[in-house]
Structure 1
Amino acid sequence: MKKVKLGSQGLEVSQVGLGCMGMTKFAGHDVYKKADEKEALLTIERSLELGGNFLDTADQYGPWENEKFIAKAINGKRNQYAIATKFGHEINDQGELTWGINARPEYVKKAAEQSLKNLGTDYIDLYYLHRLDPNVPIEETVGAMAELVSEGKVKYLGLSEVSLETIRRANAVHPISALQTEYSLFERTVEENGILKGIAEMGIGFVSYSPLGRGFITGDIKSAADLSEGDWRLNIPRFQGEYLQKNLDLVKEIGKLAAEKDVTTAQIALAWVLSKGIVPIPGTSKRINLEKNYASADINLSDSDIERLENIIPAGTDVGARYDDHGMETIDE
């Protein structure tokens, strides 16, 4: 897999990254289905074999357990990977989520030191602010992040789920290399509000998380019964009631084009994201899924293919909220 530039500050990553959140428990619960640790470790190893060096984690995942898992996976090969992690969801000294956002300068430094320890490394390739702290000016947060760069503990800075105004203010303090926000055929808000155009003008790269709609666009979900009891997606409007059926029908339409090209629904959706010059980080803990995801980089979509896909789910289509009310409140719009 080829490498691409993420932003204009020098960061290079594989064209498709690997979201690692589902490889460990989250706040004591499995995110989707229980991951097999041995298989997950082999998945990260296989990623590197295929040229995929971009791993995405966060201190919140676990908390801390996902970063520690990554440390185990990259042991002895640290310099071959580009590691992205995030901070902002406050974690107390006992390693427990407080369910608040904390981006005060002193917490930035504390969180970074903990992540470095968890990851078993002395530097982080890409350090994101996970969510904007409404009580702290972004200039103060990014100022503290910039100090981590000057100290050599972080190479590049990123933001997640923030508005274009916030990005501009942050970028004025220190160059931002990447914005990470949800983006898929089902979620195109960053197109509608001008964020993609705005960050391109600033030389900031874009990373798409949940490019498969949290598994929705894989086509593997046929009804609510396919989501096991306790699956957190059941709390999301997009997976509920009339929205669920509407969205299942849309996925079927995407699947028709995939079948014509003899690829999977997931692969056609990832190929669409890649056609935008965006780096997707689909999450999986299984080698077979990873290999299929990475193969999407070899799919060439014509202009008519892209138009067809975008006509199935035009930007602005109401497919249901992507988080519950609390989750939506943490997004800076």
Structure 2
Amino acid sequence: MDLLSTIRKTGSRGGVNFSWDEVANSSRRENYLGHSLKAPVGRWQQGKDLNWYAKAGTTPANADETEEEREARERKEELRKVKEAEEDAMARAMGLPVKQRDTTGANSIEVGNKRQIGPASGPPDDAAEMTKAVADQAADDQRRGREKSRHTEAEAATERREGDAATGTAVVTGNTETADSGVARERGGLGGKKGGIEDTEAAVVAGTVEDAGIGMIDTAAAPDLRSADMQGVSEAHAGDSASDTLENDRPITMLSRLRERWTSPHYRDMMRRPVATIFGGTRIGNRELFKPETSLESFLDILRAHGITTIDTAQAYGSSEDALGKVRAGERFTLDTKWSPSSWTETTPWATRDRIVETAKDSIARLGAPAGTFYLHKMDPLTPFPETLAAVNEVYQQGHFRRFGLSGFPPRDIEVVYQHCRDGGYPLPAVYQGSYNPLSRDKETALFPTLRKLGMAFYAFGPSAGGFLGKTVAQVQEMRNNMDAASATCKPYLCDSKYLNALAQWNALAEREGVSAAEMAYRWMAHHSALDGREGDGVIIGTSSPEQLEDTLKNIERGPLSDGACDAIQNIWESVA
């Protein structure tokens, strides 16, 4: 078999195509070494065509590809790279993790389960480090600007006179062109035309902000940044000196303006990640529809169909743990449970070492699987917390749960527990469970800062205020006559007239928005509240029937509410706060 007949006998050198015959007959055959001919002796040294092997590794050689097809393919690849660069720059500017791109090759290193080129790099952890990075870059720009200004002083003076005559506000910064508005756009990096991409309508000076991690802004993804919202950033350059020197505080001012805009509620909602949805198991095994012999499997099937993976239960939830174990739910879901007192009014210690260890084993036996998160349901003021935490660690070392959680602890005690666990080498509290809804938001200031500082997630139960936000005023007035029928989460809202007035506004708003009152509560919680999927936060939902569960999950999946609805919900909260 003739091996030469099986290979592609063409290549390119210096932008000129050549064939194998030309190489074979050339008296200067060594000139072709390192270029893009695949010779039968193997792959030669890369030489000057640095991109050839990368293209050959990602795109199959196609001798039938026309010049137009090749150009179209390369153009598409270039557009992809530009788009990825823009997305990464935006993520760095927002302080978000940069998406890891799939990479291969000898330069890639393993980082966890992902691969990346070179050492891990990301945005600074706080604003101070970001500000320092910008200031350092500004100093470099000043140095380069002074060196260049010595050679171009006369040219810069001419440009200033012409620019001032034409627009009144010209900015000359290095390699820039004066825009009609008088704000110069730097042609560096992604700031200018590249791969067919035009300058964005609100470009940020690449030498000051882009190098600090802000980069080009995707105006298609954030249209509000294209006009008035970025006007202040663009105009920040209009008052700069006409020389190449930038003021030391200019990049810091720009960064603070961008942070102010991007940390506003509107942009926070744009950049936040979806929160997890957890199914609350208080009724499992305790209501007729939720028993293994009736419709429990129907609920579980709906959860799986919508990608819900976690069910929340507790020792205090009657037959819930036992029912989940009977249907072997632990093989399909993560089951979270809690150490609970046998009575909420008991006056004897319940979180002692012996009881923590004993009841944990009982819970795991009933569930038939290790717990995902094992919570302390509340504080036990009658048991020293070091004894309780040592017992929690003992259960953890036996492999009975993966994460430790807290519920019903005030913020100051959360920090004490966290510090004690860290000092003792115990599992750190990873998640806190508490009530939170559009009418009860005090935790946003009283609790969330502590959780964020400690890196703990928040799971919110009662997102519709125990069903209160799904009812009409008339229904609530009827419930006042039978308080025993109301849930513990709902009762606090039934007896205060300010909540009744808020409910009337809530229902009127839902009618204007064309959604149900309960749907509006769930969608606000999932898409507009202080919860954030980046922090691992979640919403615990309940239901009374399979049909209601299906509707609730579909409503959450419908996405965010309108800006007008969010503003009105904020006003309702302020009326009861």
Using structure 1 for the length normalisation, give the TM-score.
0.76
Change (3 A) 1:127 1:36: closer
Structure 2: distance between partners of 1:149 and 1:302: 45
Is the Cα contact below 8 Å between 1:90 and 1:101 reproduced in 2? no
Report deviation, 1:238.
2.4
Pick the aligned partner of 2:321 from 67, 72, 80.
Answer: 67
Change (3 A) 1:139 1:315: farther
Return the letter of the residue paired with 2:380: D
Query: What's 2:262 paired with?
Result: none
1:16 aligns with 2:269: no
216-225 or 283-292, which deviates more: 216-225
1:55 aligns with 2:55: no
1:120 aligns with 2:368: yes
Report deviation, 1:223.
2.9
Structure 1: distance between partners of 2:448 and 2:557: 21
Structure 1: distance between partners of 2:478 and 2:442: 29
Per-residue CA deviations over 1:121-141 (Å, capped at 9, x if unaligned) read 2x1101000010012233332
246-255 or 44-53, which deviates more: 246-255
Q: Which runs of structure 2 are paired with 1:119-198 in the superposition (5 Å)?
A: 119-121=367-369, 123-172=370-419, 173=421, 174-193=427-446, 195-198=447-450
Change (3 A) 1:261 1:235: closer
1:109 aligns with 2:357: yes
Is the Cα contact below 8 Å between 2:483 and 2:491 reproduced in 1? no
Report deviation, 1:212.
1.2
Query: What's 2:229 paired with?
Result: none
Greater share of strand: 1
Is the Cα contact below 8 Å between 1:87 and 1:111 reproduced in 2? yes
Change (3 A) 1:190 1:229: closer
Structure 1: distance between partners of 2:385 and 2:564: 41
Report deviation, 1:229.
7.3
Per-residue CA deviations over 1:140-183 (Å, capped at 9, x if unaligned) read 32232122222211100100021112111222203111100111
Q: Which runs of structure 2 are paired with 1:234-245 in the superposition (5 Å)?
A: 238-241=492-495, 243=496, 245=497
1:265 aligns with 2:523: no
Is the Cα contact below 8 Å between 1:217 and 1:266 reproduced in 2? yes
Structure 2, unpaired ranges of 5+:
1-273, 422-426
231-240 or 195-204, which deviates more: 231-240
Structure 1: distance between partners of 2:483 and 2:436: 26
Q: Say what the alpha-carbon RMSD is for the aligned residues.
A: 2.9
Change (3 A) 1:35 1:163: same
Change (3 A) 1:315 1:41: farther
Structure 1: distance between partners of 2:471 and 2:371: 35
Structure 2: distance between partners of 1:303 and 1:201: 29
Structure 1: distance between partners of 2:509 and 2:543: 23
Structure 1: distance between partners of 2:492 and 2:345: 26
Is the Cα contact below 8 Å between 1:39 and 1:285 reproduced in 2? no
Return the letter of the residue paired with 1:130: H
Q: Which runs of structure 2 are paired with 1:276-291 in the superposition (5 Å)?
A: 276=530, 277=532, 278-291=537-550
Structure 1, unpaired ranges of 5+:
1-12, 318-333
Query: What's 1:231 paired with?
Result: 485
Structure 2: distance between partners of 1:133 and 1:247: 32
Change (3 A) 1:178 1:297: farther
Return the letter of the residue paired with 1:15: A
Q: Which entry has the higher C-alpha Rg, 1 or 2? A: 2
Structure 1: distance between partners of 2:281 and 2:290: 13
Structure 1: distance between partners of 2:488 and 2:458: 28
Query: What's 2:258 paired with?
Result: none
Is the Cα contact below 8 Å between 1:224 and 1:239 reproduced in 2? no
Change (3 A) 1:110 1:294: same
Greater relative contact order, per chain length (Cα 8 Å cut-off, separation 6+):
1
Change (3 A) 1:235 1:50: closer
Is the Cα contact below 8 Å between 1:14 and 1:51 reproduced in 2? no
Report deviation, 1:234.
8.2
1:200 aligns with 2:452: yes
Quote the sequence identity (%): 21
Aligned residue pair count: 286
Pick the aligned partner of 1:305 from 551, 565, 577.
Answer: 565
Using structure 2 for the length normalisation, give the TM-score.
0.45
